[in-house]
Amino acid sequence: MQPLAPPLPRFGWCCQYIPPDGDAETAKRMNPGTITVATLSRLEPARAAEKLEQVLRRNLQSLHLQLAEVARHPAYRRLLRVNSGLLPVYTHAIGLPLYREPAIRALVESALDHAGRKAREAGIRIGLHPDQFCVLNSANPATLKNSVDELEYHADILRMMGLTGGWHPQGAHVNIHGGGRAEGIAGFRRGLALLSEDARGLVTVENDEMSYGLDDLLPLADAVPIILDLHHHWVKSGGEYIRADDPRIETVRGSWRGVRPIAHVSVSREDLLDGWPADELPDYAVLSARGLKARDLRAHSQRMWNHAVNRLVSEHLAWADFEVEAKAKNLAVDDLERDALRLGAVPAGVPAQ
């Protein structure tokens, strides 16, 4: 029997689509809008429901357009982080009764069911990433409750897309940071236990530049998949570029329990590293000596401008899929794609199925 071929590596963009030609109407059509609690609170219930429904129709249509955009690319670009603001005010007291309205509920369930089928048919890996206020190890009961509610909201999106039930089905995930230092890893485990089974089967945790580096999170490998962020690690460690053969990678891979891991990448801002050779990895010590602080270096670039960083990502594609967190979104993915193709990290001519 022939051995199974290794999974095809994938990389993609996060949340917002940027039209290559800069067309404002395309950007508006492709990206979700929002509505605030303050706006809804000023409206009568019927008018509030009508207003929310208008925003939801736009947002759900934008998701379908984004999925269609991802699906037209080769299979190695079939990855999308869905915007967490897809369903505005979902967990807020003013939004809860509105989402129970039959018309709104039917709209959301139908559109997300269709989006989920589209994602599965096209082989698009789906992820979400709540804002950093989602702190699963908070000692504040109100913050902890809000964090649990927020994670359950994200699980609801994936549930309606048909991407729950078991351990990260189809690679689906809801990613958060480690949270505050006071309650530590033990607090994170306690918070994790408060989640529904579906939500626990989706949560992942990512190393950051401030509180929880990669080494800090490795003790959680038995409980939750770890997402390695290469840029965060570089900042937190003061300049280490973690390589694909680093022994810690095996712990990260093991935490996913057979599911292909996700990793993150970005680069420091182009304007701050003006003049740095694009074929050389940025040197943290040299840049610090120039007066750049960690807060400067951790800011994400617009594009994946550094070919040396793209080479590093290409090495890691042997074991992980990547969400590109550069601010130019899909345009930055184009940069990574060019280098990955040149290096043979992804196969040229892979058909857009």
Any idea where the domains of the chain sit in the sequence?
A: 11-28+70-89+123-343
How far is 80 from 10, CA to CA, in rounded Å? Answer: 10
Q: What is the pLDDT of residue 349?
A: 64
Per-residue tokens: 102: 């039959």
Each residue's pLDDT expressed in tens, for the chain with a length of 353 residues? 333 345 789 999 999 999 999 999 999 999 999 999 999 999 999 999 999 999 999 999 999 999 999 999 999 999 999 999 999 999 999 999 999 999 999 999 999 999 999 999 999 999 999 988 899 999 999 999 999 999 999 999 999 999 999 999 999 999 999 998 889 999 999 999 999 999 999 999 999 999 999 999 999 999 999 999 999 999 999 999 999 999 999 999 999 999 999 999 999 999 999 999 999 999 999 999 999 999 999 999 999 999 999 999 999 999 999 999 999 999 999 999 999 999 999 988 655 44
> Phi/psi at 288 (nearest 5 deg)?
-65, -40
How far is 32 from 126, CA to CA, in rounded Å? Answer: 17
What pTM value is reported for the model? 0.94
Q: What is the pLDDT of residue 73?
A: 97
How far is 22 from 3, CA to CA, in rounded Å? Answer: 46
DSSP characters over 305-343: --HHHHHHHHHHTTT-EEEE--TTTHHHHHHHHHHHHHH
Residue carrying structure tokens 């996700």: 262
The CATH fold of domain 11-28+70-89+123-343: TIM Barrel (3.20.20)
For strands 226-229 and 203-206, give the pairing.
Answer: parallel
| Residue 203 bridge partners (DSSP) | 174
| Residue 322 bridge partners (DSSP) | 11, 263
